[in-house]
Amino acid sequence: MTAEPTVRITTAEAVVRYLIAQRVVVDGQEVPLFPGVMAIFGHGNVTSLGHSLEMHRDEIPVWRGQNEQGMGLAAAAFAKAMRRQQIMVCTSSIGPGATNMVTAAGMAMANRLPVLFISGDAFNSRLPDPVLQQVEHFGTPSTTVNDAFRPVVRYWDRITDPAQVISSLPHAVATMLDPADCGPAFLGLPQDVAATAYDYPVSLFDRQVRQIPRPRPDRVEVQAAVDVIRSAQRPVIIAGGGVHYSRAEAELAAFAERFAIPVVETVAGKSSLLATHPSYSGAVGVTGAGAANAVVAEADVVLAIGTRLEDFTTGSWTLVDAATPIVAVNAARFDAVKNRSLPVVGDAREALADLDAALDGWHASTTWEGRAQELRGELKEFVDGRIEDDGAWPPSYAQVVGLVHAQATPDDYVMTAAGGLPGELNINWMSLGIATFDCEYGFSCMGYETAGPWGAALARSRGQVFSLVGDGSYLMLNSEVYSSILSGAKFTLIVCDNEGYAVIERLQRGQGGASYNNMLRDSRGPGSGVRVDFRAHAEALGALAIEVHSRDELAAALVTARQADRTTVIVTKVRESDWTEGGAFWQVGVPEVSDRSEVREARKAMDAGLSRQARRG
């Protein structure tokens, strides 16, 4: 037997060469599966992995991050913008560099987004222990801070021997490309192992063109779903993020129109349909509109496509009656069988094709068509009223959304995350292009709004990336604005300053509490009157910064930002308490007993809402 040719290289070099060899086809073109690395080097990754990345700098570019959490969030946003077809790598040193990435991994895990996290680790030999930044566990010396990644990744491994790379890397890649298991992967590289040489088979580094699987649904499950749908008069589709990841938007549009089924969108599924599509019925749930929620509440069957049906989608399970059947199309069986749903486990595009063929000759009732059209009219009237200029300054969040939308094109991409902006954008943004919206609301991670657009800008080859952020999130994480300057991946960031965590103060007061520790005005300490100069701060990070004081100035600043050669930060004051009301109940923990009468009243209201909660499993 002829021995397979080998090459003697370090573990770190093997990792880099393997990543470079992985390819994927996107829009008919073969491209790198791993198009880049976001890195902050330190001890643990600079001398071995960093050295190998430098040696291959023309094959796999490295982008310098400023904060490990920020670059991890940017990597996840990149994956979202690419609809999970390409994957960024994030690498850090041991210790705080690694733990900074744990939050980003949690965000990617919650949103089912692929990111490959590679962190330095303590010495496998333990001979120099304890080393700088090593956290020691007296009873379990093999435990390091990298074990903190275990709950927030789909795949976790520590490379304790160079040969493990041969097995571990293919498993990590397969996990990140699997539609059902997709999520972040983690590899820990102990410093001595990363530097150790090994005779790797040359074939490990052969070019490999990957295909993202499209699992076909079981015919029995499809038929059971068809029987339920055919019995319906008032069906509704809830479109989730899985529609985007399957690239099934065109199939969804044709299916909904053919069978006259209204479509509501989750936060992750928004821009599955254009707002002008005849089946588009708005955003659903707590951050959705009353008219859209009425469509769901009145439906006699729910077809949930690519959604995990989280509480903000279901109104904490008050929107869908317990007796209303749910047909759940999902690549992940875990999601498809939730809440006693009738599962159709498979790729959304393939499932829609099978359902389409099997439903031939069936159609939703004409009465339901008329009702859905009526509710779409109510939605439009509601949104028009929210974004309308009322002559007052500062504007509401909704009015800012309207001004950005007025200048947007179908190629532009809009983003936000935590706080009050998700509700404002989810309801009031009428999608002009398919897969052009990203609201991170699976983990609701503050700071995504400033780091995410850097990743999205790296992914997008056309249009402008807009991100709307509150002052609280901007202060929490803003360093990747500078990363965008360094990399030349420009975006437009609109900082909406209402002088505090106003949406949480709204929740605080709305559930009977007193305003406390959310707004700057009632913060403890002598500096509560000091305000941040966001324009000056952004300018110091290298951005073009503009502070506006009128609608005309904001409109002009958006024009300037589109023409600018670098990231632009537009700063505007916004109203503290002018919210677009959603149309769904949300369960939160309100005290059952309190000395405060307002809390007691809030608890009564909460209990009334809970009495409508469907017990589905």
pLDDT in tens, 553-600: 999 999 999 999 999 999 999 999 999 998 899 999 999 999 999 999
* pTM (whole model) above 0.85: yes
Q: What CA–CA distance (Å, rounded) separates 142 from 124? A: 8
Average pLDDT for residues 12-21, to the nearest whole number?
98
Mean pLDDT of the chain: 97
pLDDT in tens, 137-155: 999 999 999 999 999 999 9
* Class of CATH domain 388-573: alpha beta
Classify domain 6-210 at the CATH topology level.
Answer: Rossmann fold (3.40.50)
Amino acid letter for position 505: E
Q: What pLDDT score was predicted for residue 89?
A: 98
- Return the beta strands (E) in 510-606 as ranges: 544-547, 568-573
Q: What pLDDT score was predicted for residue 580?
A: 96
pLDDT confidence tier of residue 617, bands split at 50, 70 and 90: low
Helix (H, G, I), strand (E, B) or coil at 578: coil
Q: What pLDDT score was predicted for residue 615?
A: 82
500-508, Cβ contacts within 8 angstroms, sequence gap of 24 or more = 500/471, 500/472, 500/576, 501/419, 501/470, 501/472, 502/419, 502/420, 502/470, 502/576, 502/577, 503/419, 503/420, 503/470, 503/579, 504/419, 506/420, 506/577, 506/579, 507/588
- For residue 461, pLDDT beyond 90: yes
- Is the separation of the CB atoms in 9 and 33 below 8 Å? no
Average pLDDT for residues 196-217, to the nearest whole number?
97
Q: What CA–CA distance (Å, rounded) separates 472 from 362? A: 50
- For residue 377, pLDDT beyond 90: yes
Q: What pLDDT score was predicted for residue 582?
A: 85
Tokens of 328: 């759940």
- For residue 1, pLDDT beyond 80: no
Degrees to nearest 5, angle at CA 500 with 573 and 441 = 95
- For residue 616, pLDDT beyond 80: no
Q: What CA–CA distance (Å, rounded) separates 373 from 379? A: 10
Q: Which residue has the tokens 């490379």?
A: 159
Q: What CA–CA distance (Å, rounded) separates 364 from 283? A: 21
pLDDT confidence tier of residue 118, bands split at 50, 70 and 90: very high
Domain boundaries in the chain? 6-210, 219-379, 388-573
**CATH fold match for the domains 6-210 and 219-379:** yes
Sign of CA dihedral 193, 194, 196, 202: positive
Tokens of 349: 């595009």
pLDDT in tens, 502-552: 999 999 999 999 999 999 998 999 999 999 999 999 999 999 999 999 999
Q: Which residue has the tokens 């009468």?
A: 597
Burial of 323 (0-12, 13-18, 19+ CB in 10 A): exposed
Average pLDDT for residues 35-58, to the nearest whole number?
97
Classify domain 219-379 at the CATH topology level.
Answer: Rossmann fold (3.40.50)
* Torsion on CA atoms 75, 81, 82, 83, rounded to nearest 10: 110
- Is the separation of the CB atoms in 297 and 306 below 8 Å? no
